[in-house]
Amino acid sequence: MEECANLPPEHNLIRLLRFCGHFLYYRIGGKTGRGRILNVLKDHQELLQRELQEILGVQSGSMSEIVIKMEAEDLVEKAKSTKDGRQLVLRLTQKGQEEAARYRTEFERRVSQMTACLSPEELAELIRLLERLQLHWEDLEEQWEIPALPEKMKIRAEQVSHEEFKNS
């Protein structure tokens, strides 16, 4: 940490955010982790593959590859929709239901451990500041000459809390 003492505060912030992003990616399941897929399917019972990829912000080729692997592991199955028998949907198998329950339990345990060092007031303030930073960065994307992330790839706090981790 001594080498960071001479960094300007803005650079130190970026360094810390980069560490947090890396930590979350590799310790909470990655961008398209199986756990996220299991969790969303558990909440929705059945989804078209296209709907699942839209919720998670995943490209169709990547989603197909993951689904094939999960089918081979007997975690998901393709079946006729109960709403429209002409369409094939993804559903969790019994093994997938059990794996989704384990994922949620483990996710909640890890989140609790990861935020245990903060008081409720500190957590609320951190969330407020990060949301402010997120809005500012989204505005910057519009100003910069680099292409912004496609809308479906942007992670919104409300999407994560309502779609991915509801009833956790």
Specify the DSSP class assigned to residue 117.
Answer: T
Give the pLDDT score at 161: 42
Nearest to 67 by CA among 84, 88, 82, 86: 88
Task: Let me know if residue 83 belongs to a domain.
Answer: yes
Name the nearest CA neighbour of 79 among 68, 70, 87, 69.
Answer: 87
pLDDT for residue 163:
42
Which pLDDT belongs to residue 98? Answer: 96
78 - beta bridge partners? 90
Regions of the chain with pLDDT less than 70:
1-3, 29-32, 146-168
Look up the domain containing 105 and give its range: 32-118+155-164
Note whether residue 16 is domain-resident: yes
Please indicate, yes or no, whether residues 22 and 43 belong to a single structural domain of this protein.
no
- Extract the tokens encoding 135: 């809005």
Identify whether residues 1 and 68 lie together within a single domain. no
CA distance 92 to 99: 9
Number of domains the chain is built from:
2
**Chain-wide mean pLDDT for the chain?**
84
- The reported pLDDT for the residue numbered 154 is 56
pLDDT of 162 reads 39
One-letter identity of residue 101: A
Residue 24 lies in a domain: yes
Q: What is the rounded distance in angstroms from the CA atom of residue 104 to the CA atom of residue 127?
A: 22
**CATH code at 74?**
1.10.10.10
| Within a domain: 147 | no
Task: Please tell me whether residues 91 and 63 are part of one structural domain.
Answer: yes
CA atoms within 13 A on the CB side of 129: 8
pLDDT of 155: 55
CA angle 106, 104, 76 (to 5 degrees): 120
Query: What pLDDT digit, counting tens, does each position of 56-102 carry?
Result: 888 888 888 999 999 999 999 999 988 888 888 999 999 999 999 99
